[in-house]
């Protein structure tokens, strides 16, 4: 029986970043690319129902980080939360 979903939809209503000068659209694009790559490569637990108001546990990031790197780090934190390996507060 095939239990691998064909489509995963992640909806992030708002992501507020303070102290960064990176272009928000470039951060968003890098985030989307990295999260897609991580889900395609590693997946997420089947049937996982995950919602969170706040995602914590992200290591401090320097304010001069590029938009690409910032998007990648955020995607890794979200993927860890989706996979049950991150720190999530509800």
Residue 43: its pLDDT value, please? 81
Whether 89 has a pLDDT exceeding 50, the answer reads no
**Which residue from 59, 61, 51, 60 is spatially nearest to 81, judged by alpha carbons?**
51
Residue 45: its pLDDT value, please? 73
Q: What is the pLDDT of residues 29-47, one digit of tens each?
A: 999 999 989 988 988 776 6
Average pLDDT score over the chain: 76
Does the CA dihedral 77-78-83-84 come out positive or negative?
A: positive
Q: What is the pLDDT of residues 43-87, one digit of tens each?
A: 877 665 555 544 556 667 888 889 999 999 888 888 887 777 655
């Amino acid at each position: 029986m095939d239990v691998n979903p064909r489509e995963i939809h992640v909806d992030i209503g708002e992501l507020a970043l303070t102290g960064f000068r990176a272009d928000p659209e470039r951060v968003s694009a890098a985030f989307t690319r990295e999260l897609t790559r991580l889900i395609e490569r590693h997946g997420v637990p089947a049937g996982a129902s995950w919602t969170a108001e706040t995602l914590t546990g992200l290591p401090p990031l320097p304010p001069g980080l590029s938009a690409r790197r910032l998007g990648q780090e955020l995607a890794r934190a979200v993927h860890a939360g989706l996979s049950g390996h991150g720190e999530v507060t509800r």
